[in-house]
Amino acid sequence: MKKIFVAGKLLPKTEKQLQDLGAVFYQGPEPITEEALIEGVKDAHALICPLSTPVTEQVIRRASRLEIVANVGAGFDNINVAEAKARGIAVTNTPDVSTEATAELTLGLILSLMRRIPEGDQLLRETPEQFTGWAPTFFLGRELYGKTLGIIGLGRIGLAVAKRASAFGMRILYSGHQPKPAAETVSATFVTQEELIKASDVITIHAAYSPELKHLFDRTTLAQMKQSAFLINAARGPVVKEADLVEALTAGTISGAALDVFEFEPELSAKLRELQNVVLTPHIGNATVETREKMGEIAVSNIEAVLRGEAPLHSVY
C-alpha cells in the first residue's frame, strides 16, 4: 500500500476518509516543523497538508517517492510548485468551494465595520455604564445602502460579494485586467483601479494573489481613498502594507479597515489591535464546516486519482 502522510489536523469526516486509506497522521500538538515534515514524507507517496504548512524545496527534495502534494486550500503559495513540477510531483488545491463562505464573511466584515458591531459588543461588556439608553447621536455608524462598493478582482468570490452587496442597495464598481460579462448580472461597472480607489466608499480585495499585488495598498494608495472610506481584505495579507495602514487609520486618512488576513501572518501589528476603527478576524474566510468538508473531499479525491496512476482533478500547473 502506498503511504499517505497527513501533515496537520483536518475535519473528522476527512480524517475518517484518510484512515480508511491507511494514512499516517502527524500527531504533534503544534504546527508541524520542517524537520518533522521531512521525516514524515521521506517514504511517502502522497502528502496532504493544510494551507498553513510550508512545503519547501528541502522537503520536496527529501521525498524521493512523492507523487502528489494535495493542499487543503484554494491557495498554494505555501508550496514550492516549481521544485515539485521539476520532479514530476503533482500539486493540487481545492478551488471553487470557498466562494460562498468567503463572500459571506466579507459582507459580515463590512457590516461589522460600518455599523460598529464588535465595538458595540465590547462597550456593553467592558464599560456598560456608557450606555444610558437610546440617544440621537450615540454610537453612530454608516449605512451600506446607497454606498459605492469597489471590488478589486471580480472572480467567483468578487461576484458573489457583489450579488450580496447589491441586495443591500450598494452601487458596484470593479477593476481587473478586463471587463467581465458576468458583471452585468449585478449591474457592476468596470473602471480603472485608480478610479475605483478614488470613488469607492468601501473597497474589498478579491484578486488572485501575485507578486505584482504586494503592497498594492500602501501610503500612496491609501491617501487616494476617500477619508470616509473603508478597506476590507479577506484575500491575502501582503496586498496591504500593514505599517502604512496603521498610519492611515491613526491619522484618519481613511475611516476604518477590516482584515481577515495579515502581511506577516500569523503575526500582526500590536498597533492594529489597539485601534477601534479596525475589525480583525483570524483568517476564517472559508472556515465553515460545509466548506472545509468539501475541501477535504477534493484533496482526498486528488490523492486517490494520482495514486491510481490518473491525472489529478485540480492540478495547479
Q: Tell me how far apart the alpha carbons of residues 227 and 269 are, in angstroms, rounded to a whole number.
A: 22
DSSP string, 30-69: SPPPHHHHHHHHTT-SEEEEETTS-B-HHHHHH-TT--EE
Instruction: Tell me whether residue 290 is one of the annotated catalytic residues.
Output: no
CA–CA distance, 58 with 41 (Å, rounded to integer): 11
- Cβ atoms of residues 72 and 296 within 8 Å: yes
- Of 100, 283, 293, 297, the active-site residue reads 283
Kindly report the CA angle at 137 between 132 and 143, in degrees rounded to 5? 115
Does the bond joining 128 to the residue before it have cis omega, within 30 degrees of 0?
no
Residue 215 among the catalytic residues: no
Structural contact between residues 3 and 283, judged by C-beta atoms closer than 8 angstroms: no
> Contact, 114 vs 141, CB < 8 A?
yes
Catalytic residue among 156, 236, 292, 314: 236
Confirm whether 15 is a catalytic residue: no
Q: Measure the CA–CA gap between 219 and 237, rounded to whole angstroms.
A: 16
Residue 99 to residue 45: CA distance in whole angstroms:
31
Q: How far is CA 211 from CA 104, 195, 214, 238, in A?
A: 27, 22, 5, 9
Kindly state the cell numbers that stand for 86. 521539476
Catalytic residue, candidates 15, 34, 119, 265? 265
Give the other-Cβ count within 10 Å of 31's Cβ. 16
Catalytic site positions: 236, 265, 283
